[in-house]
Amino acid sequence: MSTSVSPSTGKRYGVQRVCSMLGLPRSSFYTRRQERPVKRQSAGKRGPKPRWSDEDLRRLIEEDLAESPFTGEGHRKVWARLKYGKGIRVGRKRVLRIMREQNLLSPYRGSRGEPVKHEGTIVTQAPNEMWGTDGTKVFTLEEGYVWIFVAVEHWNAECVGWHVCKRGDRFAALEPIGQGVLEQFGKIEGDAARGLALRMDHGTQYLSDHFQKQVKHWGIRPSFAFIEQPETNGVSERFFRTLKEQAVYGRTFRNVEELRQVVGEFIVRYNREWRVEKNGFLSPWDMRALHIARKAA
């Protein structure tokens, strides 16, 4: 009634006049009006309506994929051909959304096939059956990132060789292996380490012809870690974690020489004193000494 128009004045009666005539507080009127469900129409997507509906655009995308002479293309190529080749101006993200909803994206962007699962063990029962090798980088103030390469015995987690350098190429990656071969086998010549397997990842240093030919010359059998499964090279990975937690994190290194000194001191302390659970909480060197004593007995 408050919105009704008076026939004499041509104006609305208003809430105040109606409430005073009925003896009703205006607060009650406004409270009752707020309790009423208000029907609101959905505003929908703002802006002009697209020329092509999602269904039409899906059909155009499927036709474009069928006509293309290439395979494994993403949404950018489809969008570009629609826009510049056929004059169909649509948003690139809209093309991506529709292709994702309709499963039209390339199936070759992710991993193909079933991954090889690691269900065995990387711990050996005797020394010099398998070593692990890997590299990592540490930042220095004067020389930027420098490399650390190691060779670690899978049997007792002993670091048998290490090398710190600025340039982490195939020659640098071989240094720890050569150190370990000389230390453990007493010589560094052809077939000196026959019977030893070397676990490594697929880094460019380890895939190089020079690295592979050299380790095979020593009689070492390459053993590559599984793709996307770093646990298959877990002995080296765990050693680097210990090295960084104990000697690298929280420290600032000026150059490669300073880092080399710290790493060298830590590795000696690690081999002598670090207690490893799989060794019965013996250090790597204590485990090796016990093994030698048992063989001599």
In a domain, 4, yes or no: no
158 with 210, same domain: the answer is yes
* Contact yes or no for 170/202 (Cβ under 8 A): no
In a domain, 174, yes or no: yes
Instruction: Check residue 71 and give its pLDDT.
Output: 82
Q: Which two tokens stand for residue 108?
A: 């070759």
CA 230, 236, 238, 243 dihedral sign is: negative
Residues of the chain with pLDDT below 50 are none
172 with 263, same domain: the answer is yes
* Contact yes or no for 174/108 (Cβ under 8 A): no
141 with 84, same domain: the answer is no
Residue 244 β-bridge partners: none
134 with 69, same domain: the answer is no
284 with 146, same domain: the answer is yes
Instruction: Check residue 81 and give its pLDDT.
Output: 93
Rounded CA-CA distance 272/263 in Å is 14
214 with 91, same domain: the answer is no
227 with 89, same domain: the answer is no
pLDDT tens-digit map of 186-208: 999 999 999 999 999 999 999 99
96 with 148, same domain: the answer is no
In a domain, 36, yes or no: no
What SS3 class is residue 17? Answer: helix
Instruction: Check residue 8 and give its pLDDT.
Output: 66
In a domain, 39, yes or no: no
User: DSSP code of 49?
Assistant: P
Rounded CA-CA distance 278/121 in Å is 13
Instruction: Check residue 111 and give its pLDDT.
Output: 60
Instruction: Check residue 95 and give its pLDDT.
Output: 94
pLDDT tens-digit map of 140-181: 999 999 999 999 999 999 999 999 999 999 999 999 999 999
Please give the tally of structural domains in the chain: 2
In a domain, 80, yes or no: yes
242 with 141, same domain: the answer is yes
Instruction: Check residue 245 and give its pLDDT.
Output: 96
Task: Spell out the residues 6+ positions from residue 287 whose beta carbon is closer than 8 angstroms to its own.
Answer: 155, 156, 158, 276, 279, 280
Query: Which range marks the domain in which residue 59 is found?
Result: 54-101
In a domain, 106, yes or no: no
Rounded CA-CA distance 155/165 in Å is 27
